[in-house]
Structure 1
Amino acid sequence: MHTSPLQPQPPSSKSGTLSFCLSLVVLITSLAITSCSSSSNPEGFPTASMSLPTPTSVPASATPNPTATLIIPDPPYLTWTGPSLPQHLTDELVKSGYFTPTSNDINAQILISQDPGPEVVSWLYVASAPFYSFTEEILSADLYDCWTTGGAGSMPFSEVLVSEDTKESFDLLWGPGNEECVKSVKAEELSQILWLEKDAIALLPFDKVEPSYRILAVDREDPLSKDFNQEEYPLTLRFNYQVPPQFHITLGEMQRLVNFDPSKLTSVALTGVTALVRDTASIMEELGVLYPAGDIQDILAKADITHINNEVPFAADCPAPKADQVSLLFCSDDHYIQLLEAVGTDIVELSGDHFGDWGPEAMLHTIDLYHQQGWKFYGGGKTLGDGLAPVFLSHNGNQFAFIGCNGKGIDRYATATDENPGAAQCDFTWMIPEITRLTNEGFIVIATMQHEEVDSFGSIALQSYDFRRLAEAGAVIVSGSQSHHPQAIEYTGSSFIHYGLGNLFFDQWYLAHYNPKQHINKDKSFIDLHYFYNGKYIGTRLVPLQFIDNARPRPMTDEEAFSFLNEFYKFSLWNGDWIHLYSSGYMSNRIDQ
């Protein structure tokens, strides 16, 4: 508690006595409130996010001087910070230019503490595992036990890694961290050590999040979720400000110190092959148009931007679907577009091999349907120029440029010309400098391609060459839309590459079951959820899917995901290293060597 900067006046009259009595009443009331407040947490578990009583303005004197004039100072304000505010947050306040620190609370124009008042600091911390981890959530009680007592064997992690600044914050909150369970490391080494310490987790401020971390929900509150309730989240440090009565200061939104603002966060869902034909369409006719999305609709619809790679045109004269259709010329009935509506489609990729199957009229009709829905489209269009041109989307201040094409060596799939509609053939001599230009202009570039189809996790040389050069040009995300068998990922230090996500809605489940030697894993796929904050790419969550028939995927169970991803990581790279070496624990065994 800070020392009051107000000097009491001698009680030389009845007004002085009255002032003393009022002060006594206020003090007794405060003690009563404090007592009630402490009884609301019978187990005594301290939380970082504190519910403070609503501040009440109490006059310094019962008979204020009617001739007193309030002082309205200009920033930077002379600021006293209480002992509960970590030094690194005090430094951040000073960096803002609005506050000048003082050790004397008597002369301060603003006082910052956890006493009641308007909020001035909100500093959110996240619990993170390495990207490859299968852990999704933890309990704050386990974190607290680790910090205070060293924890027990039942904890879902081996230790907690923190930087010195983060340790300072939680030492002030929970007391000194237990040396057996809390390990302090250099901030610049935190991510690397976390990847090596396979079963550890890290605590770090949200503004330090990067793609190598997997952000965990804490007490079921997930900072990356649209349903996130920050008031219920236990890892937020909050501090308030008080203004002595002789000053008039009201801090604006720009003067608050905040490291997490949900209005700056965007999620983008990228998907693989959609082809509403053959047995997929037959099942839709039998069980309902929305049947394929029954288990994944919420995942896609909750993303801020949802991408669908629909390879097949809609056609007014499309015949009734046949499960055993032999021809590879495809079309979809118009009413199947309801499925794309249901999953929250925002942007459609038209680079698919089968977009031209039903001729120019069907392609133009499909484009008209997308226009009617208000959806953006790219990678194909009414002309080659339309298809190659980037498409722009903005959300929460994050500016995206989607760009795509058909990169198969056989150009018969890409029918777009200067006069004809269709998928756009890749022109890398134009596309690469265009990506660099867009990046230099501040856009987050997401590049997707139809490329060569490979029935294995690993990428072939041509895929690696083309995908990597788009990443090197500046694309933050490079994603393959063509694969029916899910393929590997690769992180280059600045770009996330996924060579192929597999099918979203397409009837290849039966191939994996009846001819597994040639088509294993065609009953599995991914949705990639990419996250961006304040113009920066901060991470990706892979959502592995398991098909239950020729139309409907569902999220994998924990057991299915564990088996599938362990194999998948054998073919995936992170900054040049095989991810499997970390996820298997092999690298952790070599830490001291």
Structure 2
Amino acid sequence: MPDRLRDQIAMPPGFSITAKVEEADLKLVIGQSAAGAGEPQVTWVYALVAPFPTVRDGVSQQDLLKAWQGRSTDEMKGHPLLVSESTLEAFTAVWGQPAKAAVRALPENLILEEAWKEQPSWAIVPFEALQPRWKVLRVDGVSPLDKSAPLEAYPLAVHFYFEGNAEALAGLEKKNWGLPAGNRDLERLTTLVMTGTTALVRSTALRMEEKGVTYPARDIGALLRSADLTHISNEVPFYSNCPPAKPLREEARFCSDPRYLELLDAVGVDLIELTGNHLLDWGQEAFAETLVLYQQNGYRVFGGGENKERSQEPLLVEDHGNRLVFIGCNAAGPENVLATDTSGGAAPCDFEKMIEQIQRYKVQGYIPIVTFQHYELDDFRPQSVHRIDSKKMAEAGAEIVSGSQAHHAQCMIFDGDRLIHYGLGNLFFDQMMDGNRPSFIDRHVFYEGRYISTELITTILEDYARPRLMTTRERAAFLQEIFEVCKQDAAYSQ
């Protein structure tokens, strides 16, 4: 029985625990429901996990059982599943005794460090033990991080039922056992997708005129909408006097037709970052109109504003009991795009103020998320000053530090359990060069006030406007390359 479940059981009056199974009137057992037992009393969800820089995304239930039985034939052969003692007991009840050397039991607080030391490696951990440095692997295509996950068919959902004599079972509902329904409550789980650069201009805008305003969302719209919170970094103003996108307008002075807000609605945007360096391409009038449009359409913004003070205000968000604070700034300039005391624009980086904000809101139970518009570099590796600034924010207490400036996807590292992803790449922008087409969408997961996981979703740009999910082969090659570069660059830290 999981330790957390055991700790929550409250014995009703008239009941006591016995060590002799044959004396028990009621038993809380693992397995399939006995005839007439109905729904399980408790469902405890586990996850198959591996160190974060793992290319593999999942396994079949059959392959997992083979590993348990010591019959692995793939790359995990010779690498035992790491589990805690209570997890070992639970799955022994479900799958039978594991083969010798197929499973290794460790204290739960040592499993993560051991897995990172001995890569490739994998483990089974209870949902409440998830941490950001784990990558959650799918089993038969199902992840417990998905809100729509069908847990009734999920192999790592362990069901507990009461068994006993008829009289004891009949009076079961009258007793208060204090049992939780499980360890995964969707009312306490928040998903946030964060994206890179959006600029609905040039060839992207032309395709929208030719094929419909929502054309760029065709392949990833449902994915973005599925999150509780969806973030974009829109780098350009929406301006009613913006010149037509057709014929193709190639100048680097950017603006978008306000009609294109339909695309943001189509992908379920909630949060808009305003750190981009093209926000003032058409002056203060266009930027002011953009802010009004965002307010009218219910978008929440951060990282920019009507003046310097407003631009540097954190954005506080609460969802499913989780409290997040977003802080964004532009470190790269140019100077004339930054907000001043009397004019609007992107938030200049004031690190002393940002550190104070991070620490103030962290004490109040908020999870700090910092975003940068930093210096661009068409490389997996970030510039040194970008590393320094990101580490400064992580050490101050930011749980996630995310680079929104990158047109080329970049490395990610951990500072303790805090994720730094230097650059996600483009979301909606027309750069079709080989190095600029691949990008990340980061799906961050929060549970009971904690940051517990990030899923790296990989996309590739088609037709100057339309990102699609990578194929299995494309994704494996891309992740392999970026993980290797990051390790060689000493960007990864444990």
TM-score of the aligned structures, taking structure 2 as reference length: 0.89
Give the match's secondary structure for 1:210.
Answer: coil
1:321 aligned partner: 245
**Offset at residue 178 of structure 1 (A):** 0.6
**Bigger relative contact order, structure 1 or 2 (CA pairs below 8 A, ≥6 apart):** 2
Give the match's secondary structure for 2:358.
Answer: helix
Give the match's secondary structure for 2:327.
Answer: strand
Q: Percent identity?
A: 39
**Offset at residue 240 of structure 1 (A):** 3.2
Work out whether 1:493 is the aligned partner of 2:424: no
Q: 1:460 to 1:162 in 2, by over 3 A?
A: same
**Offset at residue 275 of structure 1 (A):** 0.5
2:160 aligned partner: 239
Q: 1:164 pairs with 85, 89, 100, which one?
A: 85
Q: 1:465 pairs with 388, 393, 410, which one?
A: 388
C-alpha separation between the residues in 2 aligned to 1:190 and 1:323?
Answer: 59
Does the CA contact (< 8 Å) of 1:360 and 1:420 recur in 2?
yes
Does the CA contact (< 8 Å) of 1:378 and 1:403 recur in 2?
yes
Cα deviation, 1:220-265, whole Å, max 9, x if unaligned, reads 3221113211122122222234773897864569642622222211
1:534 aligned partner: 448
C-alpha separation between the residues in 1 aligned to 2:466 and 2:447?
Answer: 32
Q: 2:484 pairs with 548, 557, 570, which one?
A: 570
2:139 aligned partner: 218
Give the match's secondary structure for 2:413.
Answer: strand
C-alpha separation between the residues in 2 aligned to 1:194 and 1:343?
Answer: 37
Q: 2:468 pairs with 548, 554, 577, which one?
A: 554
Does the CA contact (< 8 Å) of 2:26 and 2:169 recur in 1?
no
Superposition RMSD on alpha carbons, in Å?
A: 2.8
2:71 aligned partner: 151
Letter of the 1:363 counterpart: F
**Offset at residue 528 of structure 1 (A):** 0.9
**Offset at residue 452 of structure 1 (A):** 1.0
Does the CA contact (< 8 Å) of 1:306 and 1:346 recur in 2?
yes
Work out whether 1:402 is the aligned partner of 2:326: yes
Cα deviation, 1:89-130, whole Å, max 9, x if unaligned, reads 4x7434555576344789989653466377443211111222
C-alpha separation between the residues in 2 aligned to 1:171 and 1:325?
Answer: 65
**Offset at residue 368 of structure 1 (A):** 1.7
Q: 1:335 to 1:112 in 2, by over 3 A?
A: same
C-alpha separation between the residues in 2 aligned to 1:217 and 1:267?
Answer: 17
How many residue pairs get aligned? The number is 482
**Offset at residue 505 of structure 1 (A):** 0.8
1:43 aligned partner: none
Q: 1:262 to 1:254 in 2, by over 3 A?
A: farther
1:544 aligned partner: 458
Mean CA deviation greater in 269-278 or 545-554: 545-554
Give the match's secondary structure for 1:292.
Answer: helix
1:112 aligned partner: 28
1:376 aligned partner: 300
Cα deviation, 1:464-510, whole Å, max 9, x if unaligned, reads 1111111111111111111111121111113111111111111111x
C-alpha separation between the residues in 2 aligned to 1:365 and 1:345?
Answer: 19
**Offset at residue 558 of structure 1 (A):** 2.3
Does the CA contact (< 8 Å) of 2:131 and 2:417 recur in 1?
no
Q: 1:250 to 1:327 in 2, by over 3 A?
A: same
Work out whether 1:201 is the aligned partner of 2:117: no
C-alpha separation between the residues in 2 aligned to 1:334 and 1:461?
Answer: 37
Work out whether 1:93 is the aligned partner of 2:6: yes
Cα deviation, 1:268-301, whole Å, max 9, x if unaligned, reads 1111110011111111111211111222112211
Q: 2:370 pairs with 447, 472, 490, which one?
A: 447
What are the ranges of 5 or more consecutive residues in structure 2 without an aligned counterpart? none
C-alpha separation between the residues in 2 aligned to 1:329 and 1:361?
Answer: 15
Cα deviation, 1:60-88, whole Å, max 9, x if unaligned, reads xxxxxxxxxxxxxxxxxxxxxxxxxx3x5
**Offset at residue 375 of structure 1 (A):** 1.2
**Offset at residue 183 of structure 1 (A):** 3.0
Look at both structures and tell me which one has the larger radius of gyration over its CA atoms: 1
Give the match's secondary structure for 1:446.
Answer: strand
TM-score of the aligned structures, taking structure 1 as reference length: 0.75
Does the CA contact (< 8 Å) of 2:8 and 2:180 recur in 1?
no
2:357 aligned partner: 434
C-alpha separation between the residues in 2 aligned to 1:119 and 1:540?
Answer: 30
Give the match's secondary structure for 1:466.
Answer: helix
1:29 aligned partner: none
1:304 aligned partner: 228
C-alpha separation between the residues in 2 aligned to 1:251 and 1:464?
Answer: 57
1:330 aligned partner: 254
1:40 aligned partner: none
**Offset at residue 385 of structure 1 (A):** 1.8
**Offset at residue 319 of structure 1 (A):** 0.8
**Offset at residue 360 of structure 1 (A):** 1.8
